Amino acid sequence: MIASSRGQGAEAAWLAPPQPAIHDFDSQDGVDFLVMEFLGGETGHPSAVPLDDHECLAYDAGLRESGRCIASEALQPVETATTVRVRNGKLSVSDGAFAETKEQRAGFHLIEARDLNERSPGRIRMAHYVDGFVVPVPKKKLAAYRRMSQKAGKVWRDHGALEYIECAADDVKRGKWTSFPQSVKLKPGETVVFSYIVYKSRQHRDRINAKVMKDPRLAKMMDPKSMPFDGKRMFWGGFKTIVSA
């Protein structure tokens, strides 16, 4: 994802697939950016591979939630799209939504930034989806649990998860009404492990988990007799991101 300045032309070299490309335009209150979404598809092929736009939709949702989205729109598929270019005062019209590469334009987002630093790709966040889970682990088996988690994390990351994090309790106290220890009915000699896996979207999570469940590496870890924790007291769930600061 590369930011280019106004005046470089409609087809300046700003492609960096598969991330969005960015153009910036001066505005009274700061800087506006035109973010282009690109997806796979062979140039000139009228019947490109069907597009899965869940990632684009998740990106759009994140921009809207941030309050920086001025406008956004999906573009027509390659079968019906027409591209109009103006270069050096000459007009050209071509079929498809291609960008002179193997990628095709899928849509655009016009966003407003408070300052130039906000044009950094790392500051434009997608509305991620998170699987979170809490489990009680015997302290004497924590090392074994860590080894198992390292293997499990590799499986999830190999199939596309953005992050895989497992955390052992450090400053976790029993509450009056509820708490992490009470939620898993913590026993003497046990600790609480809080973990989460990050995905691009709910659909992305579902696709990855379907692959993970079929992975033979995970099957070897699923024997209840060899698990270093009590799975009966484990709980988990999927969560939509509502704030990403």
Our CA dihedral for 36, 70, 96, 59, rounded to 10 degrees, sits at 50
pTM of the model: 0.59
Retrieve residue 103's tokens: 């990628």
Residue 101: the pLDDT is 55
Contact 159, 208 (CB under 8 A): yes
Top-confidence residue, 202 or 243: 202
Whether residue 127 contacts residue 61, with contact meaning beta carbons closer than 8 Å, is answered with yes
d(CA 54, CA 62): 12
What integer is the mean pLDDT of 128-133? 94
Of these ranges, 72-81, 104-113, 126-135, the one predicted with the greatest mean pLDDT is: 126-135
- Size of the chain in residues: 245
Whether residue 48 has pLDDT greater than 70:
no
φ, ψ for residue 39, nearest 5 deg: -130, 165
Domain 129-240: which CATH number of 2.60.120.260, 3.40.50.300, 1.10.1370.20, 3.30.70.100: 3.30.70.100
More confident residue, 107 or 145: 145
* pLDDT reported for residue 98: 60
Residue identified by tokens 């499990």 is 152
Give the CATH class of 3-123.
Answer: alpha beta
According to the model, what pLDDT value does residue 172 have?
95
**3 or 137, which is more confident:** 137
pLDDT value, residue 3:
33
Is the model's pLDDT at 194 over the cut of 80? yes
CATH 3.30.70.100 intervals, the chain: 129-240
